[in-house]
Amino acid sequence: MTKFRQQHERRIQLEKQALTDPLMNIWNRRALLGDEDSNEIKGGNFVPHLTREIAKARVGERRTSFREGERRTEIPKPLSVLMLDLDHFKNINDDTDLGHDGGDFTLQSISTLLKQSIRKADILGRYAEGDELLIILPETNQEGAIKEAERLRKLVEKYQLKFNGKKFSVTISVGAAELKDSHKEPKDLVIEADKNLLKAKNNGRNRVFPPPPVDQSSSVET
C-alpha cells in the first residue's frame, strides 16, 4: 500500500469518526444537523444529512407533460422526521443491578434494533448525548411517519433485554413531524418533532404524537 493511499484511508477513517457516535455506532448530531465545525470535514464539502434530504425533497421530481407542450414542473416529495426518547431511562442508570454500564448496553441494543428495522434510505442518528434519537424518513408524509413511529414503538416495547443476568424491557415515546413550507431551517423541522415528543411524554409516555389511528394504537401507560 502506497503512502498516499494510507493517508487517504486514514483521512476517511477520521472523517467517519467525526460523524459517528462512538457508543451506538450511528450518526451523531453533527452528521445529522451540522455545526460550526462542519465545514472542516471532508475539505469543506460536508453537507449534513437533514440539510441534504430537505434539499432533495424540495426539488422533488421533474416531470414532463407532452400534452402541455413538454412543460417541466417540479413536484416536491414528502419528508418527515421522528424524534425518539427512551422512557424513564434514568431509572436504568440508577438501578443497582444495571447501572451506567446497563444504560450503555440499553442504548446500544435499542439503536441496533432500530437500525435493523428501518428502510435502507432512512437515516438514524443520536440527537444528543443522552437517549434522544432522530430518524429521517425520505419520501414519507405525516401519515406514513406516524404509522412508522407506532410500528417502531411496538417493536421496542416487545423487545427483551438481558444484562448481568437481569431481564428487562424499555419503551419509547416518539414525536413525528413532516416538512412544511414554514420550516425555513432544518432545525425548525426538528423543533416541531421535539415538541411533539414532549406531548407524547406528557400524555403518558410509550406513545406517539400525533397519535396514530385508534385501531393501530395500543399504547400502555408506564
List the chain domain ranges.
79-209
Q: What is the dihedral of CA 130, 194, 140, 39, to 10 degrees?
A: -60
Q: Look at residue 43 in the predicted model and tell me its pLDDT.
A: 47
Query: How is residue 166 written as a grid cell?
Result: 437481569
Q: Look at residue 220 in the predicted model and tell me its pLDDT.
A: 43
Residues with active-site annotation: 131
Q: Look at residue 128 in the predicted model and tell me its pLDDT.
A: 86
- Look at the block and give the residue holding cell 413538454: 70
Give the residues of the chain that fall short of pLDDT 70: 1, 4-14, 36-45, 61-74, 215-222
Q: Look at residue 221 in the predicted model and tell me its pLDDT.
A: 42
Beta strand pairing status for 79-86 and 71-75?
unpaired
CA distance 102 to 114: 18
Q: Look at residue 16 in the predicted model and tell me its pLDDT.
A: 74
CA distance 171 to 124: 18
| β-bridge mates for residue 176, sequence order | 82
Closest CA to 115 of 26, 181, 28, 46: 26
Q: Look at residue 69 in the predicted model and tell me its pLDDT.
A: 55
Is it true that domain 79-209 has CATH number 3.30.70.270? yes
Q: Look at residue 2 in the predicted model and tell me its pLDDT.
A: 78
